[in-house]
Amino acid sequence: MPYTYNRLNKDDAALLMVDHQAGLLSLVRDFSPDDFKNNVLALADIGKFFDLPTILTTSFEDGPNGPMVPELKEAFPHAPYIARPGQINAWDNEAFRNAVAETGRRQLVIAGVVTEVCVAFPALSALEAGYEVFVVTDASGTFNQTTRDAAWNRMSQAGVQLMTWFGAGCELHRDWRNDVEGFGGLLAQHLPAYANLIQSYSQHQA
């Protein structure tokens, strides 16, 4: 059967950040804390850079799960923010579904904590609802490598596309010439090794 490559498109994509809460983050152990923090903030910067409609949601944020990480709230001060009263699958929350629908977008970029629940459940629900679903794997964390592997497998077999923040950013950007400075700056901030290249280059130029 012929394959169609529906790329992530900045005019058709929305970003869903699910349950990146201070308490829940302490459960994430398939990334080092530094790596994971960087990945989540890089994805947030991508959402802002491409002006993707973005939706934030939390689960029980007044309890042990803790508040959404403040950097995300600050990054998207005007985004719909749905503090779910109890639904584990964000898609079960009508306000969340409506917020997604109101974006008018058909490509959903999802990341969250923990991967096999807060990410996988809405990802599969969105797939069923006819959306294209792209999970940003390195901005989604869970208890260990085994639970991650199982979660990735389940989502992938259902039709979810597994991405990374760097891959998603590049697929959205398409061409460096659309904004060399801006996109390069974003990368430099979140890829120390790339920042090093830029510094060496700049010095050699000078």
Report 16-55 residues binding a copy of itself (CB under 8 A): 22-23, 25-27, 29-38
Closer residue to a copy of itself in complex, CB, 66/80: 66
| Residues forming a β-bridge with 163 | 136
Listed in sequence order, the residues at least 6 apart from 18 whose beta carbon sits closer than 8 Å to its beta carbon are 57, 90, 110, 111, 112, 113, 118, 119, 122
CB of 105 to a copy of itself, least distance (A): 19
Distance CA 33, CA 42 (A): 14
Distance CA 136, CA 43 (A): 8
CB of 55 to a copy of itself, least distance (A): 19
Known active-site residue 170: no
96 is a contact residue toward a copy of itself (CB under 8 A): no
Neighbours of 180 (CB within 10 A): 10
One of 48, 49, 66, 80 touching a copy of itself (CB under 8 A): 66
98 is a contact residue toward a copy of itself (CB under 8 A): no
Contact segment (CB under 8 A) with a copy of itself among 9-17, 43-51, 100-108, 160-168 equals 160-168
Contact segment (CB under 8 A) with a copy of itself among 11-19, 46-54, 97-105, 144-152 equals 144-152
Q: Which CA distances in Å does 105 have to 21, 58, 145?
A: 25, 21, 32
Site for a copy of itself in 121-140 (CB under 8 A): 121, 124-125, 127-128, 130, 137-138
| C-beta separation of 137 from 164 below 8 A | yes
88 is a contact residue toward a copy of itself (CB under 8 A): yes
Integer Rg of the chain from CA: 17
Sign of CA dihedral 167, 168, 171, 174: negative
Site for a copy of itself in 164-193 (CB under 8 A): 164, 166-167, 170-171, 173-178, 180, 191-193
Neighbours of 113 (CB within 10 A): 27
76 is a contact residue toward a copy of itself (CB under 8 A): no
101 is a contact residue toward a copy of itself (CB under 8 A): no
From the list 113, 118, 139, 168, the catalytic residue is 118
